[in-house]
Structure 1
């Protein structure tokens, strides 16, 4: 079975990045050697920057290494999906001071040594949550959905990162197979679903997905959560991620981010608490990490999305998906 053919195949993009890099080196040499190409005498022309992928690993304060895997550029710029924006969301005046959907999640899992965080946030947590809300059945391998189903179809041969948008598009098109049918494997990403598995996966599709604009983001996210709609986020992680804050929480609080020391990671926002001034987020590094697998991300991270002068800009993307 061939891998899922998305609209922007990862291997092609990597080849294009390599080609651009080679051309960049060639152009640099030409400009430095030939003054006639630059009559002004400026031998340092502006050459377009080639996007660089971050490493799919995060090293914690204790030296423990965790894998990430979101496909993104390692800077603080918010990637806005302008063609698929969430619009006309009505914000109520009486939002509760706290809200938590984590009781409806499947057990906290561990992605292991694969760059599969995006499929954990979407296929495993988000889609299993939706099926739980719909059916009310207790969790088992028959209704917990497999990260490998989407990840294996989208990742490259080196088991690297994948994008949130492409993963959601695949869930909309195909759905997700249960762990019972397509188990998660921590050490390989080559196994592809057969026709019977793809047919079974169609029972767990999404109807649509939308990107958050980044405007009024805290209120929008609170509103979505109170409507039982968790939010998939992409973030850059600095070494400050997961440190203990003044509340005794595993958190991600305000600091000046050094973007030379970050990696990209996808997670699912499942709650918030105004007392802590933070959103509750489920991670895919196992229950032994963080607060039983959860981390609190400061409201300021979401407030700063549109502030290009802010030093604490770590949110790259945010999506909500609607059950079919």
Structure 2
């Protein structure tokens, strides 16, 4: 036997010993050991038995068509437990040195942090109700001080968030281990982001996926229901305990809502519930002491009227399935802690894939993977063969330090996603990392979206280096405005270039040819006069680089005036000397409201329009105020100074220039509007006469006044 084979045999032998044997430890409170194969053999269900098949089918019981109660709890298989063995601790008992509470009574449901009783209806989601709705809601409410019985009731977690992802797309129940694993990897979504629903296939939308990571759990541990002291100690520590028992045993009660060992059938467990308290004084059938259990069949089901009942300590100890579970804690266990690195994926709308795929998100590259989340690792169920949602998100904060170390040392931080082996494989359209400095409503930085990935497996990186803009230009031809830019793909991560015109938020994506981007725009998009473009290059890491303003001018077509050939309209009035003012009037519709305003408007050009039914589709000059001009009234508030009969005052008028945007289909068109108006006719006339004397259009409002000496500017 060669050296490498000897080493392999030794390693396998050591692994076998460690799996089959684990020494008990004592931490001063509990005696415990790491999960072993022997534990799996003892508490796991054999997948090859008829009992397991029966366990996978939801059971219903009823006393009328209206009162139907559903079970649907899968017990964990041996294989399922062994695959998760490294994450499970088995609590054997209470330490002799433990400082146990002397309480004889406890009821967690009295806390404002504990949710009101839930009702699973006809859905086989009892395990999700016990684990997600009761246990995790209570845990997280204490951290965040949520009053789940009052103003924060929508902060309760929706059990369907978990159930729908581990029910194989069918209403046939879910497993205890599956629910616990799911919320340790994905967290939980509240009713705020995923409202109550009986739809057992939906996975939640964008808001639910981004909220859920905040409420991940660290893991879980198990004990036996015959360890009464352990269960009471867990409850005293504020943990809700999850059990599974025969649902039919609690279908009907005597008037006292107490289940004794004498009353129970000891048949195979099929219904999960939450243990929420105890009372040492309760007695039934000569059995003293009982645990309080919260069911998920609604408030009216039990004689107590609150959805709860008691089960004696002896009955609890002698359940057919004696394993009980508790959540060990929250990943974000203070009110100000939160996820800081979240992987997000959007899918191609025509190729979303199915929910039964292997889904993996992680940090690292092909040669050096720091860590990952395998959504269905060690789980017997998945989401079924229905279509994936539009968007999913997974918390990767566990490997934030590795991501940032790589980023700081190499300038790049790597991340990846993989979808495989489903009925239909997903095609990723956008993929990236959200890196938070506050959560969830605060500033969001470095949203890294991949454009047109078109793959099912992606390794991407976040870079600190922004792309460089080498040169850019705008060329005006007879019919088009042609924009072009050359950008340097510094880190092989240049994804695109956008162009913005005239400071507007609307942008256009340019067509790429290697590292050059160019696109042509119809000249009619732009008004006559000067414009500018700003180019923005961006990469897959969220880095951007903007160009300086690139100016260009759209000239009015040449026309013949009364005396000479020029670029101005032939109907301009005399007495205007400035080329800029002439061009502004030539390029604009001149509108008015009253007969007097019409006379004033004719001092600018011969062709004028009534503004009462006028729609903005071209540069425009308004002559007269909002009192008689419907168009002026509609846009009066768009200007820095609003004209009224009282302001700017008697014999005073204002000249203002404003760009007003109008949406035309998917395009926002900017129009220059010149507003010449006063509080009375003399004010409007003063503003008009002064406007005709200007050399350039004003940058801000100009207020003028008509007096005996003519028009003066009011400071």
TM-score normalised by length of structure 2: 0.34
- Give the direction of change, closer, same or farther, for the CA distance of 1:223–1:157 in structure 2 (3 Å limit): same
1:145-294 equivalence runs, <5 A: 145-186=157-198, 188-214=199-225, 217-238=227-248, 240-245=249-254, 248-255=255-262, 264-276=270-282, 277-290=289-302, 291=304, 292-294=306-308
1:263 deviation in Å?
5.9
1:208 deviation in Å?
1.6
Pick aligned residue for 2:326 from 299, 320, 324: 320
RMSD: 2.9
1:252 deviation in Å?
2.0
Kindly provide the CA deviation profile for residues 74-116 of structure 1, in whole angstroms up to 9, marking residues without a partner as x.
Answer: xxxxx99976233375454543111110123111111011000
1:228 deviation in Å?
0.5
1:227 deviation in Å?
0.7
Unmatched 5+ stretches in structure 2: 1-45, 283-288, 331-715
The corresponding residue for 2:578 is none
Kindly provide the CA deviation profile for residues 199-218 of structure 1, in whole angstroms up to 9, marking residues without a partner as x.
Answer: 2101111112111145x511
Conserved? CA contact 1:68–1:263, under 8 Å? no
**Alignment partner of 2:179: what SS?**
helix
Partners of 2:50 and 2:156 in 1: how far apart? 42
- Give the direction of change, closer, same or farther, for the CA distance of 1:154–1:301 in structure 2 (3 Å limit): same
Partners of 1:178 and 1:130 in 2: how far apart? 13
**Which of 1 and 2 has greater Rg?**
2
Conserved? CA contact 2:194–2:205, under 8 Å? no
**Which of the pair is proportionally richer in helix?**
1
Kindly provide the CA deviation profile for residues 202-247 of structure 1, in whole angstroms up to 9, marking residues without a partner as x.
Answer: 1111112111145x51110000101111101111233x425434xx
Partners of 2:316 and 2:99 in 1: how far apart? 19
**Which of the pair is proportionally richer in strand?**
2
Partners of 2:165 and 2:202 in 1: how far apart? 8
**Alignment partner of 1:209: what SS?**
strand
1:302 deviation in Å?
2.8
The corresponding residue for 1:23 is none
The corresponding residue for 2:53 is 52
Conserved? CA contact 1:210–1:320, under 8 Å? yes
Conserved? CA contact 1:119–1:147, under 8 Å? yes
Partners of 1:68 and 1:125 in 2: how far apart? 17
**Alignment partner of 1:212: what SS?**
strand
> Which is bigger in relative contact order (C-alpha 8 A, separation at least 6)?
1
1:300 deviation in Å?
1.0
Conserved? CA contact 2:126–2:271, under 8 Å? yes
1:314 deviation in Å?
3.4
1:132 deviation in Å?
1.7
Between 193-202 and 48-57, report the one with greater CA deviation: 48-57
The corresponding residue for 1:65 is 68
- Give the direction of change, closer, same or farther, for the CA distance of 1:180–1:141 in structure 2 (3 Å limit): farther
The corresponding residue for 2:688 is none
Partners of 1:115 and 1:266 in 2: how far apart? 10
The corresponding residue for 1:128 is 137
Conserved? CA contact 1:95–1:223, under 8 Å? no
Partners of 1:296 and 1:267 in 2: how far apart? 12
- Give the direction of change, closer, same or farther, for the CA distance of 1:315–1:61 in structure 2 (3 Å limit): farther
1:288 deviation in Å?
0.6
Pick aligned residue for 2:124 from 115, 118, 128: 115
1:316 deviation in Å?
4.4
Partners of 1:108 and 1:170 in 2: how far apart? 23
Conserved? CA contact 2:170–2:201, under 8 Å? no
Partners of 2:196 and 2:190 in 1: how far apart? 10
The corresponding residue for 2:311 is 297
- Give the direction of change, closer, same or farther, for the CA distance of 1:98–1:58 in structure 2 (3 Å limit): farther
Kindly provide the CA deviation profile for residues 21-65 of structure 1, in whole angstroms up to 9, marking residues without a partner as x.
Answer: xxxxxxxxxxxxxxxxxxxxxxxxxxx656332452342567842
